[in-house]
Amino acid sequence: MDIPKSKETLGITRDKMPQIASKDYDEFINYLKKNDVKMTKRKVPAKRLKPIQKEFSKGGVEKFMIRSIGGGVPKPLIASSDNYIIDGHHRWLATKNIDPNEPIEIYQANITVQDLLALTLGFSKVTFKGIYK
């Protein structure tokens, strides 16, 4: 399994990474729109996306790899205009390990990672998890 080295990320630990639950995605997208962020749903090759998270659970990646092979359709990732992932690192890494050229569905914001991360952290339903949760 190919896992990014810490220096290939923006160095944010898993417990500081915002998580958006599937049931809250629509509300989150509306929250961003109210903050003048345009979100575009598209598919991009997994290799074009970049992680901000520096810690990954191999078990979590394997779980998504198995789901992917089984035909499960994961929720889209959230990414910035500069192709950094805000939500969905393990889903992205599973796809990238299976086939880096495989298109992955994302909601891409028209703002940079720093601005999107700040807005995401301000979303009322954001949660946080440790590396093994």
pLDDT at position 73 is 55
Strands 39-45 vs 77-79: parallel, antiparallel or unpaired: unpaired
Q: Which of 113, 122, 105 is nearest to 35 (CA)?
A: 122
Q: Which pTM value belongs to this model?
A: 0.86
By DSSP bridging, strand 85-87 and strand 39-45 are unpaired
pLDDT one-digit tens code per residue, 72-89:
557 899 999 999 999 988
Domain limits, the chain: 6-121
From CA 24, how far away is CA 2, in angstroms rounded? 30
Res 86: pLDDT: 94
Is 80 exceeded by the pLDDT of residue 12?
yes
Is the model's pLDDT at 61 over the cut of 90? no
The fold of the 6-121 domain, in CATH, is 3.90.1530
User: In the chain, what percentage of residues exceed pLDDT 70?
Assistant: 88
Assess whether pLDDT exceeds 90 at residue 6: no
Task: Please tell me the predicted confidence (pLDDT) of residue 101.
Answer: 94
Confidence of residue 70 (pLDDT cuts 50, 70, 90): low
Average pLDDT over residues 17-44: 94
> How does the average pLDDT of the chain come out, rounded?
87
Identify how many contiguous H helices and E strands the chain contains and give both numbers: 4, 4
